[in-house]
Amino acid sequence: MIPSSYIPDNEMAKLSARMLIEIGAIGFNSETPYKLASGLPSPTYVDCRKLISFARIRATLMDFLTIKILRDVGMEKIDNIAGGETAGIPFAALVAERMGLPMSYVRKKPKGYGKNARIEGVIDSDQTVLLVEDLATDGGSKISFVEAIRQTGAICNDTAVIFYYDIFSEAPAIFKENNIKLHFLCTWWDILAEVKLHKSFTSSTIEEVEKFLNSPREWQNERL
């Protein structure tokens, strides 16, 4: 079912941040930093995959993401919803169901046997495709997925995520250079506002996290 109306974007951002904190999808650890996929350290971590186990929050956030897409992209602009392997697949399926659209998914690389496909499902060359993922950091992985979709002849200029880091200065330029518009529900700044408001972590931990969010590359370089 397609949501017809919802609360303003800033309220969705606050509630999305609060729900991610509630289910333990947000980790802060300033003493023993997490190791990101890039190999770099971080005092913050977000695990959107946890959402699939929390039915009410999952449904609410997928409603939020759907209405965000309808507001920002358009009611009849999208023909196909593609998920990125693997975290984006369940969210793409849930959004596609709400929008009454076909769903496909994009592998990180060709599977190496059979038809050696990178696209699973059907994407036609005359379709406009929306890429759905769990989160976006600096935009790197999104470019690879979008390029794979574009190789089918389809148009893919929009990607929607639950969470956007919004701390790496190079990210906006990467998206712009590749003609991709990013749509998201909340960022680290929304998370920070909520943890400060509800005192979800110790003041010393929040202070260190804030230092990282304001200067992430400098913070990481000091700990390499």
The DSSP secondary structure of 85-103, one letter per residue, reads TTTHHHHHHHHHHHHT--E
Q: What is the pLDDT of residue 175?
A: 95
Q: What is the pLDDT of residue 37?
A: 77
| Whether pTM exceeds 0.85 | yes
Which residues, other chains included, contact 54 with Cβ-Cβ below 8 Å and sequence gap of 6+?
23
pLDDT digits (tens, 9 = 90+) for 23-39: 999 999 988 999 887 78
Which residues, other chains included, contact 169 with Cβ-Cβ below 8 Å and sequence gap of 6+?
none
* CATH topology assigned to domain 9-221: Rossmann fold (3.40.50)
**Is the CB of residue 42 less than 8 Å from the CB of residue 53?**
no
Angle among Cα 188, 193, 63 to the nearest 5 degrees reads 65
pLDDT digits (tens, 9 = 90+) for 108-154: 988 766 667 899 999 999 999 999 999 999 877 789 999 999 999 99
pLDDT digits (tens, 9 = 90+) for 174-197: 999 999 999 999 999 999 999 999
Query: Count of CB atoms within 10 A of residue 41's CB?
Result: 17
- Cα separation, 41 vs 218, whole angstroms: 11
C-alpha torsion 15→57→79→133, nearest 10? 80
- Cα separation, 111 vs 109, whole angstroms: 6
Q: What is the pLDDT of residue 4?
A: 65
Distance of CA 42 to the CA centre of its chain: 18
> Average model confidence (pLDDT) for the chain?
93
Among candidates 62, 33, 68, which has minimal Cα distance to 48? Answer: 62
First to last CA, the chain: 48
